[in-house]
Structure 1
Amino acid sequence: MYTTLTATKHWAAKNQTAAFILKTVIGANVIAVLAQLAVPTPFVAISCQSLGVLLMGFALGRKAAVSALALYLLEGAMGLPVFANGKFGVGVLMGSSGGYLFGFVAMAAILGWASDKGCLKSVWKSLAAAMVATAVMYAMGLAQLSLFVPADKVLTFGLYPFIVGDVVKALVACVLVMPAYRLFQKI
């Protein structure tokens, strides 16, 4: 097995463009699969896609993570059922949960940047990066959600139901991040 991983790493070093494309496609589709683990709610589904963004952001680094999220949004916009609960289309991006989806791109950029800067050497630095990235995603999501619900209900529909789950997801991502990072470093 070690020889196979070494050969894969040598291939990736020689074929950087192909390896980047492969990381991007894998990242986008890991997020798409995790998005299907969702509980529908009136305005924003509770799903595992943010866990996917956390994992891919850390594992892929800034450039590949942002590319993976851009591909993920493009797949959904083009009609592939990759968003939470199998949703798709530009209408989802422009709807009540669209700000969170766009926020995932910013989230991936922050996580990837932190990963590139070495935060993966510390669970605490990884957790701090995850919390900052999640806060930015929430800011973007709540801003767009505010166009669809009364001002006094924005936090009720777009933040409060998700806080505990997202803290747990951040902890899970930090525990899993080193194995995921090692995997993608070998690809």
Structure 2
Amino acid sequence: DRYWRLKKRLKQLLPLLLVPVLLSLLLFFPHSSSPLPPDNWPKAVVRGPTFTIASKRSTQPLAILKGLTGIENIYLMKHGTYHPGENLADNSLRWVGVISYSGQVLTVRANEVFDLVVAVRAKADKENLAYASKEYVRVWLGTSGAFTIPFGYAPDWKEYVFYSEGYGTADGYLRMNVVWDNEGEGYVLLPGQELWIDNLILELWG
């Protein structure tokens, strides 16, 4: 009888003994909150340009042509995390987003410092482009909305060739990134803001 009374008593006390043990474990191993899912991130919007196919010797937007000349992509790159002399298509972990077709509307995470980088390619053909050299290629860009970049072209020192064949020759080919980085400070979109890339032009010197 004494054995059964003791066993019954232990069953009654067991829940009371477990409570402080569980509380101690919870305090010793605090619960860490998981990252916010993408749906809960603060968002902003970037609206890309509408491209039209240009005629020969035109300075209108080119987009991707069937040939070897055109605008490849507009990258929103995390400021200070990438090398502009590399093919950024291979560096998606550093993207805030990428615009790759005409009229694309991009939803991005707000409060992220980024640069605008335009990737282009050009083939010298003795008619539209005299030599495969960055000095003969210009990219013009202008934005409005959340912040304004006055329409203008990037200087040569903001152009980074990441691939070339016969560079500087009359039948060569090049690919390069052209960087807008707000004088080294980068750009930021606040939650709910919209950025419009109003104008984007690839200009070739024949």
By the TM > 0.5 criterion, same fold?
Answer: no
Name the structure where helix makes up a greater proportion of residues: 1
TM-score (norm 1): 0.24
Name the structure where strand makes up a greater proportion of residues: 2
Larger radius of gyration: 2
TM-score (norm 2): 0.23
